[in-house]
């Protein structure tokens, strides 16, 4: 009998802040699936559970049917896989390795199979801490792994092209949509249209350069142009006249318009108006006002740096836009510089915000100030209620934890109050 299979968050989830303030690393997305969904699909067996950071358990349980932070039995041993692992089917289905072996990519544990004796020594409540699993490495055989671990947020953008192509290979061509007269499907053999999709007159789906997947209940309005590879998630809305260019993925409930290229929306976010968004990631429940525009290329054509947790990091990329966290609100006419990071629940009401905006900030023409926490929660509750979701006690508890703990990793010189 194979050992129980669990996904675990390691000590490096802070590299993915602020996206992982409010979700487990395995709930990040590339293409049609989250990292967790890809792992489950390619392991060809159900997950026995997830181990996530304290404070995330309630919301992680809302995203997954698998038990979260369960009590462990070591009787059958234990197979743990890293929540940051992006596993493609093209890399082959994972076969359970022998007990007391571990796969490492650049000294980071990708997977580890522990015998009952070693599993009994493990404290699962501390898997997210450095050295918890590493302390067991001297007792296992280590194997070099070529696995892809998501170490930085922008790497999700790098893998969208391959992810969408793989998703289409799994789903195949289909047309279960309602098409109004005047819809143009170019290379329909590369298009998957799920049930309850509606596409209005004049819309163009150009899959000549890569597949297009439109998931159940999505709507594409008149004269929108979708260029593949592209994934449009369940109940998403593409506005009239939108120009959706290659390598975009829009999670459930996304609403998009204007011009977008190589963008990732985690879900339930709005960018419904004109303005260019390129090589950018947008968290859940964010709203980008009319005219919001990102720069994704420096005038010098040089390497773009991005201030993760407020500290500039080399990205090795010439094209990179903005990282916009959950619950961010950006007012009309805002222009975001290359490599901008907008922190969790921040509000921007000035046209030229700084390149790094800390979490829970209110940014106006008079600078960056701490926003009223209770007011931000009220706004979030209103936004979620409009989409049929509730801002629960678990959300409140997590917001408090983000403000008091997670966001303390941000290096920002707040003015004295």
Which strand (E) or helix (H) includes residue 362? strand 361-364
Q: Are residues 172 and 286 in the same domain?
A: yes
Shared domain for 159 and 57, answered yes or no, is no
Residue after which a domain boundary falls, among 111, 131, 149:
149
C-alpha separations of 284 from 37, 62, 117, 266, 341 in Å: 18, 14, 42, 6, 15
Residue 320 lies in a domain: yes
| Domain identity same for 114 and 253 | no
All residues at 6 or more sequence positions from 171 whose CB lies less than 8 Å from its CB, including other chains: 32, 192, 213
Would you say residue 321 lies in a domain? yes
Q: Can you tell me the distance from the alpha carbon of 12 to that of 84, in angstroms, rounded to the nearest whole number?
A: 9
Q: Is residue 417 part of a domain?
A: no
pLDDT at residue 63, as a whole number: 81
Distance CA 223, CA 370 (A): 42
Whether 190 and 212 have beta carbons less than 8 Å apart is answered as yes
- Whether cis (ω within 30° of 0) applies to the bond prior to 229 is yes
Which own/partner contact pairs does 137-144 have at CB distance under 8 Å and 24+ positions apart?
137/102, 137/109, 139/100, 140/100, 140/101, 140/102, 140/112, 140/114, 141/98, 141/100, 141/101, 141/102, 142/101, 142/102, 142/103, 142/104, 143/97, 143/101, 143/102, 143/103, 143/104, 144/103, 144/104, 144/105
Strand runs (DSSP E) across 49-147, as ranges?
49-51, 78-82, 85-86, 101-105, 108-114, 141-144
Q: Do 134 and 244 share a domain, yes or no?
A: no
Residue 367 is inside which H or E element, if any? strand 367-370
Check residue 182 and give its pLDDT: 97
Rounded Cα–Cα distance for residues 50 and 331 (Å): 37
Q: Are residues 259 and 386 in the same domain?
A: yes
The answer to whether residue 416 sits within a structural domain is: no
Residues 161 and 130 in one domain: no
Query: Do 359 and 268 share a structural domain?
Result: yes
Residue 83 lies in a domain: yes
CA distance 324 to 287: 10
Number of folded domains in the chain? 2
> DSSP 3-state helix, strand, coil percentages of the chain (rounded to 5)?
20, 30, 50
The ranges of the chain with pLDDT < 50 are: none
Q: Assess whether 21 and 70 both reside in one domain.
A: yes
- d(CA 160, CA 248) in angstroms, rounded, equals 7
| Residue 67 in domain | yes
312 shares a domain with 194: yes
- Give the other-Cβ count within 10 Å of 387's Cβ: 12
Cα–Cα distance for residue pair 417/409, rounded to 1 Å: 20
Residue 415 lies in a domain: no
Please identify, among 149, 171, 200, the residue that sits at the C-terminal boundary of a domain.
149
Shared domain for 113 and 160, answered yes or no, is: no
**78: domain range?**
5-149
CATH number where 398 lies: 2.160.10.10
Q: Show which of 92, 127, 149 is a domain's final residue.
A: 149
Domain-embedded: residue 330 = yes
Do 102 and 162 lie in a common domain? no
How far apart CA 111 and CA 84 sit, in angstroms, is 11
Same domain, 194 and 273: yes
CATH code, 46: 3.90.550.10
Question: What pLDDT is recorded for position 417?
Answer: 61
* Per-position DSSP letters for 172-228, written without gaps between them: --EE-SEE-TT-EEESGGGEEE-TT-EE-TT-EEE-SSS-EEE-TT-EE-TT-EEES
């Amino acid at each position: 009998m194979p050992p129980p299979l669990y996904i675990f968050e390691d000590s490096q989830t802070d590299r993915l802040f602020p996206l992982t303030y409010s979700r487990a690393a395995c709930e990040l997305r590339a293409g049609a699936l989250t990292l967790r969904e890809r792992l489950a699909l390619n392991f060809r067996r159900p997950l026995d559970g997830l181990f996530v950071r304290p404070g995330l358990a309630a919301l992680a349980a809302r995203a997954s049917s698998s038990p979260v932070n369960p009590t462990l039995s070591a009787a059958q041993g234990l197979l743990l896989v890293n929540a940051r692992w992006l596993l493609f089917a093209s890399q082959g289905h994972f076969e359970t390795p022998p007990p007391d072996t571990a796969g490492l990519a650049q000294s980071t544990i990708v997977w580890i199979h522990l015998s009952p004796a070693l599993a009994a020594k493990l404290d699962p409540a501390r898997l997210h801490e450095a050295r918890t699993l590493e302390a067991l490495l001297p007792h296992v055989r280590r194997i070099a792994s070529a696995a892809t671990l998501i170490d930085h947020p922008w790497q999700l953008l790098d893998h969208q092209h391959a992810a969408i192509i793989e998703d289409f290979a799994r789903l195949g061509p289909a047309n279960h949509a309602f098409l109004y007269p005047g819809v143009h499907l170019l290379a329909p053999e590369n298009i998957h249209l799920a049930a309850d999709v509606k596409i209005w007159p004049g819309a163009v789906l150009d899959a000549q350069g890569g597949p297009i997947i439109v998931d159940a209940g999505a709507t594409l309005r008149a004269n929108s142009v979708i260029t593949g590879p592209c994934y449009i998630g369940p109940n998403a809305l593409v506005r009239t006249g939108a120009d959706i260019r290659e390598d975009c993925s829009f999670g459930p409930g996304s609403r998009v318009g204007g011009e977008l290229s190589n963008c990732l929306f985690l879900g339930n976010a709005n960018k419904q108006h004109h303005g260019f968004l390129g090589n950018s990631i947008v968290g859940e429940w964010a709203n980008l006002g009319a005219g919001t525009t990102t720069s994704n290329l420096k005038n010098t054509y040089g390497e773009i740096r991005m201030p993760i947790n407020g500290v500039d990091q080399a990205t090795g990329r010439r094209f990179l836009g903005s990282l916009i966290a959950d619950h961010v609100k950006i007012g009309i006419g805002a222009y975001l510089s290359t490599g901008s990071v907008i922190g969790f629940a921040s509000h921007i009401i000035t046209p030229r915000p700084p390149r790094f905006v800390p979490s829970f900030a209110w940014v106006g023409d008079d600078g960056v100030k701490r926003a009223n926490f209770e007011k931000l929660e009220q706004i979030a509750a209103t936004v979620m209620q409009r989409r049929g979701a509730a801002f629960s006690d678990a959300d409140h508890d997590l917001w408090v934890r983000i403000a008091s703990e997670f966001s303390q990793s941000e290096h920002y010189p707040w003015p004295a109050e």
